[in-house]
């Protein structure tokens, strides 16, 4: 039987450092990391276990926990698909400093960062990141493989579709919906629904030229 607090990480760069410190603060220990290649900089002295596509991950990990430590949404989505195919043991990582409502529903491989607030009746899909100091107010619905960057505020009943990225310090007005595969620039304010994928920024947001949308 494996140590129930032992975690294998996938990815070891800047976002992984944040994940590692939340894991340590929450009483986990890290068994090692998988990545394309061994990193030159290894600030947490983690053993390198190989590239996940080139080694027998299942026989290394066995029934220990796994976690995706990659900030980029598409790569994280592929990792979670890989976890599902191998039937690896996923979990939700909530930094101990976060404040999460008992009525919030959060799916596996999602990270809730330092000082985040998740309020009543919110739902967050799998493989998402709710980064440092963000506020997810009541009844928000956040999809899979989403990244809400630090300091963002989603007012009540906001919806964010799968694989969208909400830049740091963005404010999204209550009852607003953002579809899948949208990128919102840092410091933006969203006051109307966004129904087409693409890049948007500003206050209020406008679509970045050259995105091929009619919006």
Ligand X SMILES: CC(=O)SCCNC(=O)CCNC(=O)[C@H](O)C(C)(C)COP(=O)(O)OP(=O)(O)OC[C@H]1O[C@@H](n2cnc3c(N)ncnc32)[C@H](O)[C@@H]1OP(=O)(O)O
Judged by the rule CB under 6 A, the positions of this chain that interact with ligand X are 131, 149-150, 167-168, 183, 185-188, 199, 201-202
User: What is the rounded distance in angstroms from the CA atom of residue 89 to the CA atom of residue 102?
Assistant: 23
- Rounded to a whole number of angstroms, the minimum distance from the CB of residue 41 to ligand X is 17
User: What is the rounded distance in angstroms from the CA atom of residue 170 to the CA atom of residue 189?
Assistant: 6
Asked whether residue 6 is marked as a ligand-binding residue, the answer is no
Asked whether residue 29 is marked as a ligand-binding residue, the answer is no
Asked whether residue 81 is marked as a ligand-binding residue, the answer is no
Question: What residue has token string 């999204």?
Answer: 172
Judged by beta carbon, residue 89 or residue 147, the one nearer ligand X is: 147
Radius of gyration of the chain (CA): 18
Judged by beta carbon, residue 22 or residue 188, the one nearer ligand X is: 188
138 is a catalytic site residue:
yes
- Rounded to a whole number of angstroms, the minimum distance from the CB of residue 203 to ligand X is 8
- Rounded to a whole number of angstroms, the minimum distance from the CB of residue 183 to ligand X is 5
Judged by beta carbon, residue 3 or residue 215, the one nearer ligand X is: 215
Q: What is the 3-state secondary structure (H, E, C) of 182-204?
A: EEECCCCEECCCECCCEEEECCC
Asked whether residue 14 is marked as a ligand-binding residue, the answer is yes
89, 138, 141, 207: which one is catalytic?
138
Q: Which residues of 7-31 are buried (b: 16+ CB within 10 A; e: fewer)?
A: bbbbbbeebbebbbebbeeeebebb
Judged by beta carbon, residue 89 or residue 183, the one nearer ligand X is: 183
User: How deeply is 187 buried, as exposed, middle or buried, from its count of CB atoms within 10 A (0-12, 13-18, 19+)?
Assistant: middle
Q: What share of the chain is helix, strand, coil (3-state, %, to 5)?
A: 15, 25, 60
Catalytic residues: 138
Residues within the annotated binding site?
A: 13-15, 71, 147
Residues within the annotated binding site for substrate?
A: 13-15, 71
């Amino acid at each position: 039987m494996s140590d129930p607090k032992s975690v294998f990480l996938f990815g070891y760069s800047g976002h992984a450092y944040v994940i590692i410190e939340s894991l340590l603060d929450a009483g986990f220990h890290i068994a090692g990391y998988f990545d394309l290649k061994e990193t030159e900089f290894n600030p947490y002295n983690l053993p390198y276990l190989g590239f996940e596509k080139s080694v027998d991950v299942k026989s290394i990990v066995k029934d220990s926990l796994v976690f995706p430590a990659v900030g980029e949404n598409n790569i994280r989505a592929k990792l979670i698909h890989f976890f599902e195919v191998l039937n690896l043991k996923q979990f939700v990582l909530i930094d101990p400093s976060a404040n999460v409502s008992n009525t919030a529903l959060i799916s596996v491989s999602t990270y809730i960062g330092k000082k985040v607030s998740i309020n009543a009746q919110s739902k967050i899909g799998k493989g998402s990141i709710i980064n440092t100091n963000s506020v997810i107010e009541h009844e928000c619905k956040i999809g899979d493989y989403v990244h809400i960057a630090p300091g963002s505020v989603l007012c009540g009943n906001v919806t964010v579709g799968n694989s969208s990225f909400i830049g740091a310090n963005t404010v999204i007005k209550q009852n607003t919906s953002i579809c899948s595969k949208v990128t919102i620039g840092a410091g933006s304010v969203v006051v109307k629904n966004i129904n087409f994928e693409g890049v948007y920024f500003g206050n209020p947001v406008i679509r970045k030229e050259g995105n091929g949308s009619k919006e």
